[in-house]
């Protein structure tokens, strides 16, 4: 038995609330269970109970054993003077206030349905499971899951907002610079994300503004800072970019000592860092007012149009310097566009709106639901339990669910866990009504 389960049971009143008595035989009616306190002090504030017809208002403290009151030294803490009810699983000691008066004790153990307790124990059993509720996930009401995933998606955006604000501070609150850094990072995808992020951070945005109106200059800037223009080769385009980079490096006093060199190993040629940096360079060359367009955009097609770029002509016949390939336009794929919208555009739009006092939750949710679901190990596993992920909103929410709830055993804070436990209580009530 864990205390957080008792918190859950008390908070949502998941027990038989008829004919309640304290350990001393007082008739107990719960008028208001109080507000859950997640900080120090009593567990629930501003509760209201009735004892033998007398109304009491104050706080509620919850423990596994009533003797935990003394184990936690609450009798010495004035923050607990206003406790009007001690809720416990086992009553093994009489509890007194500092003035010597008895604190009423309510024993939950007698009132929780066996089925609810069994379901709780089943959730936290030591069986080898991917998630605790995987045996019951498919039976969870679809409406419950859908609404919970919406909340989780917004929760995930709030978490990303914290990361963006930290990075915004590093740019001296320069939103265009923040977009540049985050877009560059996500052009690198998982393998080269950190590398591309380090490239972006190595270039002051004032230099970006000065160089991006000349495509070759900007491409040379990115390739050079990435360390991809070192050495010698007879390739004409390599020589051209290297010459331009050496001039820019001297002019702007550039340094790339802290840049992480991008990887080619085990990447498909369309994902080579040379191709991705060439596409990124073209994006900023063709969209000089990119930030304002990102903030103004509302439909998925607006962003598909922005990201519909290719590398320069050289890359039509190359994936790397000096190595030829069949002629093919190296256009940003729809899959990459979706990832850029999911991981850069939407979080930044959300963060920007919040910082300017605007609520764009509905707009963001609508945008995310128009993008196809991501395909990754977590999403595929959830879909094997119940086919639920149809959009990016849901796939992102499932990542939040897995990392922040399932992996941390926070089932009692999860709407799905609550439904599974609550459905057992409702089944018991229905049986009572039928009988």
Q: What is the maximal distance between C-alpha atoms in the chain?
A: 95
Interhelix angle 361-369/142-170, nearest 10 degrees = 110
Residue 329 has pLDDT above 60, yes or no: yes
User: Band of the pLDDT at 122, cuts 50, 70, 90?
Assistant: confident
Residue 430 has pLDDT above 80, yes or no: no
Provide the whole-model pTM.
0.82
Structure confidence at residue 264 (pLDDT): 96
Q: What is the pLDDT of residues 21-59, one digit of tens each?
A: 999 999 999 999 999 998 989 999 999 999 999 999 999
User: Who contacts 323 (Cβ-Cβ below 8 Å, separation ≥6)?
Assistant: none
Residue 433 has pLDDT above 60, yes or no: no
Structure confidence at residue 423 (pLDDT): 65
Average pLDDT over the chain, rounded to an integer: 93
Structure confidence at residue 239 (pLDDT): 97
The stretch 63-91 carries a mean pLDDT of 93
- Cα separation, 181 vs 348, whole angstroms: 11
Per DSSP bridges, beta strands 44-51 and 54-65 are antiparallel
Rg for the chain (alpha carbons), in Å? 30
Q: Which has more confidence, 16 or 192? A: 192
User: Band of the pLDDT at 115, cuts 50, 70, 90?
Assistant: confident
Residue 99 has pLDDT above 90, yes or no: no
Among 252-256, 321-325, 430-434, the range scoring the smallest mean pLDDT is 430-434
Q: Can you tell me which residue has the tokens 């007398």?
A: 54
374 class by beta-carbon count within 10 Å (0-12 exposed, 13-18 middle, 19+ buried): buried
User: Who contacts 432 (Cβ-Cβ below 8 Å, separation ≥6)?
Assistant: none
Q: What percent of the residues of the chain are helix, what percent strand, and what percent coil, each to the nearest 5?
A: 55, 10, 35
Q: Give the length of the chain.
A: 435
Reading the block at residue 328, the tokens are 């093919």
- Cα separation, 396 vs 389, whole angstroms: 9
The stretch 249-276 carries a mean pLDDT of 96
Reference 404, options 123, 147, 128, 153; nearest CA is 153
């Amino acid at each position: 038995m864990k205390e957080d389960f008792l918190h859950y049971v008390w908070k949502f009143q998941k027990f038989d609330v008829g004919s309640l008595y304290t350990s001393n035989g007082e008739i107990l009616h719960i008028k208001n269970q109080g507000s859950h306190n997640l900080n120090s002090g009593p567990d629930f504030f501003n509760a209201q109970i009735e004892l033998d017809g007398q109304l009491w208002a104050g706080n509620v403290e919850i423990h596994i054993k009533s003797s935990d009151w003394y184990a936690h030294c609450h009798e010495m803490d004035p923050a607990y003077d206003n406790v009007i009810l001690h809720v416990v699983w086992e009553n093994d000691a009489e509890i007194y206030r500092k003035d010597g008066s008895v604190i009423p004790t309510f024993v939950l153990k007698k009132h929780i349905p066996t089925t609810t307790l069994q379901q709780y124990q089943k959730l936290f059993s030591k069986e080898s499971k991917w998630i605790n509720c995987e045996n019951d996930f498919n039976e969870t009401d679809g409406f419950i899951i859908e609404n919970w995933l919406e909340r989780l998606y917004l929760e995930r955006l709030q978490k990303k907002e914290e990361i963006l604000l930290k990075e915004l501070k590093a740019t001296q609150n320069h939103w265009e610079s923040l977009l540049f850094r985050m877009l560059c990072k996500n052009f690198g995808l998982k393998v080269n994300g950190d590398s591309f992020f380090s490239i972006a951070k190595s270039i002051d945005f004032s230099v970006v503004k000065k160089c991006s109106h000349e495509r070759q200059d900007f491409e040379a800037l990115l390739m050079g800072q990435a360390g991809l223009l070192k050495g010698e080769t007879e390739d004409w385009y390599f020589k051209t970019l290297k010459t331009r980079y050496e001039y820019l490096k001297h002019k702007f006093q550039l340094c790339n000592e802290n840049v992480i060199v991008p990887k080619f190993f085990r990447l498909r040629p369309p994902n080579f860092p040379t191709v991705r940096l060439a596409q990124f360079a073209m994006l900023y060359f063709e969209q000089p007012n990119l930030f304002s367009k990102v903030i103004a955009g509302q439909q998925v097609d607006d962003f598909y149009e922005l990201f519909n770029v290719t590398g320069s002509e050289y890359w039509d016949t190359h994936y790397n310097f000096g190595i030829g390939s069949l002629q093919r336009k190296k256009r940003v794929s729809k899959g990459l566009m979706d990832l850029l919208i999911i991981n850069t555009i939407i979080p930044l739009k959300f963060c920007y709106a919040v910082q300017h006092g605007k609520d764009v939750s509905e707009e963001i949710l609508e945008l995310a639901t128009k993008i196809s679901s991501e395909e990754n190990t977590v999403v595929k596993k959830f879909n094997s339990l119940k086919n639920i992920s149809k959009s990016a909103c849901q796939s992102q929410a499932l990542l939040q669910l897995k990392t922040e709830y399932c992996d941390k055993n926070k089932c009692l804070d999860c709407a799905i866990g609550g439904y599974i436990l609550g459905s057992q209580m409702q089944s018991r009530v229905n049986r009572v009504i039928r009988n």
